[in-house]
Amino acid sequence: MKLAEISEIELEDGPFPPHSLGFVKLHGNGNDFILIDEISRELVAESAKRRIAIACCRRSFGIGADGVLFLTGSQRADLGMRLFQPDGSEAEMCGNGIRCLAKYAWETGYVGQSFDVETLAGIIPVQVRERDGGFWARVDMGVPRFDRPSIPACGSGDLINETIGDYAISAVNTGVPHAVIFVEDLDIDIDDAAPPIRHNTLFPEGANVNFVRAGSSLQVRTFE
């Protein structure tokens, strides 16, 4: 794991940052992130975090990533984690993201084998180990919530097989809202199919969209 630097990113109101900014690139199950270490001090001003996430996450013109992780201190836990997505919105939590953050924190010596991370979804317990020459992490994601108020989604009761456009949608909250659609074929233009679901009025805070094909194993394509 090597530290790289952002020397200049063009934002809407001009170039950023005024000085080089160190970052690390990591992935969990192919879900890739830019991690910026703000344990010692804030490196990206609050007003710029959204904008730098949009600029850095662009695949063709930025570094390219599914999100920017900010590793911070915390008064309630051992570490803090904030995640800004490619559209600039801030996510409550991400399982793959917190695993990447855990690997970085472990390898830099910030934490031992068990620690807690403060996120917008609450305090998340994490355990890490070296196993078989690699890195192993266990994240307590909590109990999945299926009732609409907890997702959140409009209405009452569980959200199961509700129709949006051409798809039957079910939903669950595993730290963030997820809309789940079972399909026969994953050859879908998800950039076209997913946004009307993610931004549907059914989900007042939006939702990640997961297309799932069931068989001897589950294959998943996710839009965040």
Same domain, residue pair 173 and 115: no
Report the pLDDT value the prediction gives residue 133, as an integer from 0 to 100. Answer: 81
pTM: 0.80
**Is 13 a residue whose pLDDT tops 60?**
no
Total domains present in the chain? 2
Phi, psi of 103, deg, nearest 5: -60, -45
Report the pLDDT value the prediction gives residue 6, as an integer from 0 to 100. Answer: 63
Same domain, residue pair 110 and 135: yes
User: Which domain covers residue 24, as residue numbers?
Assistant: 4-139
- Among 139, 164, 197, the domain boundary falls at 139
Same domain, residue pair 18 and 124: yes
- Among 109, 139, 169, the domain boundary falls at 139
Same domain, residue pair 97 and 173: no
The structure tokens listed for 49 are 């975090």
CATH number reported for the structural domain that contains residue 170 in this entry: 3.10.310.10
**Is 21 a residue whose pLDDT tops 90?**
no
Same domain, residue pair 21 and 74: yes
Burial class (CB in 10 A: 0-12, 13-18, 19+), 201: exposed
Report the pLDDT value the prediction gives residue 35, as an integer from 0 to 100. Answer: 97
> What span, in angstroms and rounded, lies between the C-alpha atoms of 181 and 200?
14
Note the pLDDT tens digit of each residue in 96-143.
999 999 999 999 999 999 999 999 999 999 999 988 888 999 999 888
Note the pLDDT tens digit of each residue in 33-80.
999 999 999 999 999 999 999 999 998 888 999 999 999 999 999 999
Same domain, residue pair 40 and 129: yes
Same domain, residue pair 103 and 164: no
